[in-house]
Amino acid sequence: MAVNSLSICTKEKDSRNDNGKRWGNKFIEKRNWKSYNEELVMRGEFLLPIDMFGNWDEELNKMNEGKKGRPYEFPESFIKIQVVWHQQWVDYRGLEGIARSLERLYLIPYHDDYTTIWHRVHGMRPEINKATNIR
């Protein structure tokens, strides 16, 4: 005959000690949630700076001014954000996929391909300037 283990089980002690405090210490919140939340928002703004798409043509014209040979097709700001994405988690094919999506959203006029991404991104190190003022 099987014995029901639930019926003979005794109440186990939890992680609190006898005086009812959690692990013997009262928890004191030390995190400044307003500041921490703003840091997370800034991280998102850093990973996709929408304002760089507004001056695409102006930046290209400045880059190609006086240049000999084939003109640049993608501004330096776009390549730099691809460098950041590549350093974080995205491979070259993934960067092409992101660029295609941005093109479909009409944020950029056309996307760069794998070879262009590799030649422009490979070996670059991102320059990260942390914002000094938080809104």
15-49 per-position pLDDT tens digit: 555 555 566 677 778 889 999 999 888 887 777 88
Domain annotation covers residue 135: no
Task: Output the average pLDDT for the chain.
Answer: 81
CA atoms within 13 A on the CB side of 45: 11
Answer yes or no: pTM beyond 0.85. no
Per mean pLDDT, which range of 71-75, 99-103, 124-128 is the poorest? Answer: 124-128
**Dihedral pair phi/psi, residue 94, rounded to 5°:** -65, -35
CA pair distance 43, 131, nearest whole angstrom: 10
Domain annotation covers residue 132: no
- The angle subtended at Cα 13 by Cα 10 and Cα 15, nearest 5°, is 155
Domain annotation covers residue 25: no
CA pair distance 41, 35, nearest whole angstrom: 10
Print the domain residue range for 80: 52-65+72-127
**Closest by Cα among 34, 105, 112 to 78:** 112
Domain annotation covers residue 96: yes
Task: Kindly tell me if the per-residue pLDDT of 7 is higher than 60.
Answer: no
Domain annotation covers residue 36: no
- Sequential DSSP letters for 17-40: -TTS-BTTS-------HHHHHHHH
Domain annotation covers residue 112: yes
pLDDT of residue 19: 56
From residue 42, alpha-carbon distances to 35, 55, 78, 125 in Å are: 11, 21, 18, 20
Domain annotation covers residue 113: yes
Q: How many domains in the chain?
A: 1
Task: Kindly tell me if the per-residue pLDDT of 119 is higher than 60.
Answer: yes
pLDDT digits (tens, 9 = 90+) for 58-72: 999 999 999 999 999
Domain annotation covers residue 7: no
pLDDT of residue 124: 85
